[in-house]
Amino acid sequence: MSDAAFGSRRNFAILLVALLAVASTEPACAQTKKGQASAKSERAKPTVHKLAIQVDENDARVMNLALNNASNVVEYYKGKGEPVAIEIVTYGPGLHMLRADTSPVKSRVAEMSLRIPAITFVACANTQANMQKQEGKDVPIVSEARIMPSGVVRLMELQREGYAYIRP
């Protein structure tokens, strides 16, 4: 075999090996780029920290503690740049927290509702109906609250949705 023929075969072999090497690494690079894209999209959607707070006592200290807990959690995660969702669920004697006529914390609820949209206030319709029967009059709920059929059921739903649960 001549040197020229050997040189072209050698060049062909080198070219073939180089092409095979590039072809075999391309899918890996594509997978890495896809993995990076999905990791970026996961980072773009941070986990929402979820908290359910139960208030079932007609005690201004307990109500204020629930409001303080909610505010502290919001501030903590705000400082970390992470989202939070909080529901304060009232039922039984704790419904007084959201009663327009008897709430000792009505002004704080109104102020926090405006200032901190991450907090939702929930009033139990069962308790409201029972109080109306017992008192023989309408039991008004503050406008900042959502009325749900059952406070206990709402807490169960929130826990099923991954909410942490506290009772101050």
Domain extents in the chain: 1-43, 49-166
Is the pTM of the predicted complex or chain greater than 0.85?
no
- H or E segment at 52? strand 49-55
Regarding the domain delimited by 49-166, which CATH topology (the fold level of the hierarchy) does it fall under?
Hypothetical Protein Ychn; Chain: A, (3.40.1260)
- Tens-of-pLDDT digits for all 168 residues of the chain? 555 554 566 665 565 555 555 555 545 444 555 555 555 555 667 899 999 999 999 999 999 999 999 999 999 999 999 999 999 999 999 999 999 999 999 999 999 999 999 999 999 999 999 999 999 999 999 999 999 999 999 999 999 999 999 999
